[in-house]
Amino acid sequence: MLGLQASLKDHDESRQGEALVLDGADVKHNRKLFIESYGCAMNFSDSEIVASIMSDMGFSTTSDYKEADVIFINTCSIRDNAEQRVRNRLKEFSAAKVKNPGITIGVLGCMAERLKSKFLEEEKLVDLVIGPDAYRDLPNLIGQVDDGNRAVNVLLSREETYADISPVRLNTNGISAFISIMRGCDNMCSFCVVPFTRGRERSRDPQSIVREAEELFNKGYREVTLLGQNVDSYKYPGAEAKEVNDESPSGYGQTVNFARLLELVANINPELRVRFSTSHPKDITDEVLYTMARHENICKHIHLPVQSGNSRILEMMNRTYTREWYIDRVDAIRRIMPECGISTDIIIGFCSETEEEHQETLSMMEYVKYDFAYMFTYSERPGTLAAKRYPDDIPEEVKKRRFNEILAKQQECSSIRLEQRVGKTFKVLIERNSKKSATDFSGKSDQNTTVVFPADNKSRPGDYVHVLIEKCTPATLIGKIVG
Ligand code: SAH
Ligand code: SF4
Ligand code: F3S
């Protein structure tokens, strides 16, 4: 999806220049790291863990790969085109290495995990391949590369959550940050490569999550997004799991589920906005919805990937819910939080999808009127259940045509949702000066819609203001500060 360049704004300068000795070897100082991330927010969040580990080794980050000693590309395997984008970018990095053979090129993340050491055979100029659960091994692997070897670690873990590593915030606006609350996925949706690239699902201990959110708030951040592939299955054991004389493992007495975790983070301060992603329709509970409704600072927006509106396709996808179940969850959201924004992911042209089944996805969109949707044509991923069981039999031109129909329907839904908001007032967290005009601010409403409005001389990024919406463009609300 996005490429992100790193800068080390949040870096603790006092740690630079310290004489670090790791594993008995002198660490080279003042080396520069360039790290670029692809894929989902989890990957961007992982890059911040990597930057932290590298910073402990004396690396500072740069946003120009041409001046870097080490180039890392944190990769995504979700669709074939995500992998192609990485391959193309690697060609550019390899060209830099031909000019300057001292550069180290490392491939991180999901593609590294999927292809393992094959990567080193396929991409001759890559020095290091490291999977998402192995980042603690970076000092060792960088050492191996410094000694002239090529290095690989793609071991997955059942426990690793990097809970104790304080991320170095990359490309931050100093206002919103991601917090990873769990890793991996146990769901085995038939189309999806994530369970293979990220391993088993595990939850991070709630105390370390709350501490990280508190630290962010104290540094001036005003919004955290709790991240997991399926946040509703977040679970950390409590008193029930207690050994004699032990404290409860969760630190909060009982087992902490997602609703409780949301509440713990929301209680840090009413000025801290809490968001989360991604919710799974099979697991999202009324308890989570009531918790959202009770706390003004838990944003009223749910990303609820539907994938398809047809129950037969959902069964083939192994999503474990039906069209009716999904509609029931949407109805529950609307009942408990009438103003809640809902967004989704849709896969178009999954194996054997008929015209009627495609129409059911369109009618689901019509029913929910999603505020926003990520839409993808199906891309067969090697090793997944769908690749083993079902032929990828929808011709490319049919996928494209259906995609365009879904896209047009989504544009219609988005504009209906935006127009409904004209004339209303929303509390907006100012994020930055607008890209288009330096005299305008840009921020987000509770429902996660971008709102642009003229700056006043009292407010600045990080402040909350009330904005009366006067008009909208296809993706933005436009208004003025009131009150
Ligand atoms: N954990 C999230 C999804 C993570 S992947 C969830 O369960 O909702 C993000 C999105 O990529 C998925 O929701 C799906 O819509 C899309 N996706 C995943 N695998 C795909 C594939 N093989 N082809 C096309 N789109 C895919
Ligand atoms: Fe993939 Fe399904 Fe897990 Fe999401 S829930 S990451 S789509 S297997
Ligand atoms: Fe991509 Fe891995 Fe995320 S495959 S979507 S980067 S979990």
Does 404 map to a domain? yes
For residues 209 and 127, state if they share a domain.
Answer: no
For residues 263 and 390, state if they share a domain.
Answer: yes
For residues 220 and 362, state if they share a domain.
Answer: yes
pLDDT score, position 98: 93
pLDDT at 23 over 60: no
How far, in Å, from the CA of 45 to the mean position of ligand 1? 18
For residues 416 and 392, state if they share a domain.
Answer: yes
pLDDT score, position 3: 35
Which residues lie with the beta carbon below 6 Å from any ligand 3 atom? 39-40, 42-43, 76-78, 109-110, 193-194, 197-198
Does 457 map to a domain? yes
pLDDT score, position 328: 98
pLDDT score, position 253: 75
pLDDT at 414 over 70: yes
pLDDT tens digit string along 422-444? 999 999 999 998 888 889 999 99
Question: What single-letter amino acid sits at 40?
Answer: C
Assign residue 270 the CATH number of its domain: 3.80.30.20
Q: What is the mean pLDDT of residues 32-51?
A: 97
Ligand 1: nearest atom to the Cα of 185: 1
- Which of 29 and 198 is assigned the larger pLDDT? 198
Last residue of a domain, one of 420, 437, 458: 420
pLDDT tens digit string along 219-247? 999 999 999 999 999 999 886 655 545 55
Q: What is the mean pLDDT of residues 312-326?
A: 98
How far, in Å, from the CA of 440 to the mean position of ligand 3? 34
pLDDT tens digit string along 328-340? 999 999 999 999 9
Which of 2-6, 65-69, 357-361 is predicted with the least confidence, judged by mean pLDDT? Answer: 2-6
Q: What is the mean pLDDT of residues 298-303?
A: 98
Last residue of a domain, one of 395, 420, 445: 420
pLDDT score, position 13: 28
For residues 363 and 255, state if they share a domain.
Answer: yes
* Ligand showing the shortest atom-to-Cα distance for residue 374: 1
Assign residue 104 the CATH number of its domain: 3.40.50.12160
pLDDT score, position 254: 85
What pTM value is reported for the model?
Answer: 0.92
pLDDT tens digit string along 137-172? 999 999 999 999 999 999 999 999 999 999 999 989
Does 171 map to a domain? no
For residues 352 and 210, state if they share a domain.
Answer: yes
Does 2 map to a domain? no
pLDDT grade for 30, boundaries at 50, 70 and 90:
confident
Q: What is the mean pLDDT of residues 112-135?
A: 94
pLDDT score, position 17: 28
Does 97 map to a domain? yes
Assign residue 474 the CATH number of its domain: 2.40.50.140
User: How many distinct structural domains can be found in the chain?
Assistant: 3
For residues 355 and 242, state if they share a domain.
Answer: yes
How far, in Å, from the CA of 316 to the mean position of ligand 1? 14
Last residue of a domain, one of 402, 420, 438: 420
pLDDT grade for 29, boundaries at 50, 70 and 90:
low
pLDDT score, position 22: 35
pLDDT at 267 over 80: yes
Which residues lie with the beta carbon below 6 Å from any ligand 1 atom? 78-79, 191-192, 194, 229-230, 278, 280, 305, 307, 345, 347, 376, 378-379, 381
pLDDT at 8 over 70: no
pLDDT score, position 434: 84
For residues 439 and 350, state if they share a domain.
Answer: no
Which residues lie with the beta carbon below 6 Å from any ligand 2 atom? 185, 187-189, 192, 194-195, 229-230, 280
pLDDT at 5 over 60: no
Share of the chain above pLDDT 70, in %: 92
How far, in Å, from the CA of 208 to the mean position of ligand 1? 28
For residues 239 and 372, state if they share a domain.
Answer: yes
For residues 322 and 410, state if they share a domain.
Answer: yes
pLDDT score, position 26: 43
Range of the domain at 50: 31-153
Q: What is the mean pLDDT of residues 350-369?
A: 98
For residues 252 and 185, state if they share a domain.
Answer: yes
For residues 37 and 142, state if they share a domain.
Answer: yes
pLDDT tens digit string along 464-476? 999 999 999 999 9
> For a pocket test of ligand 2, which of 189, 304, 306, 381 has the largest count of ligand atoms closer than 8 A to its C-beta?
189
* Ligand showing the shortest atom-to-Cα distance for residue 187: 2
pLDDT at 16 over 60: no
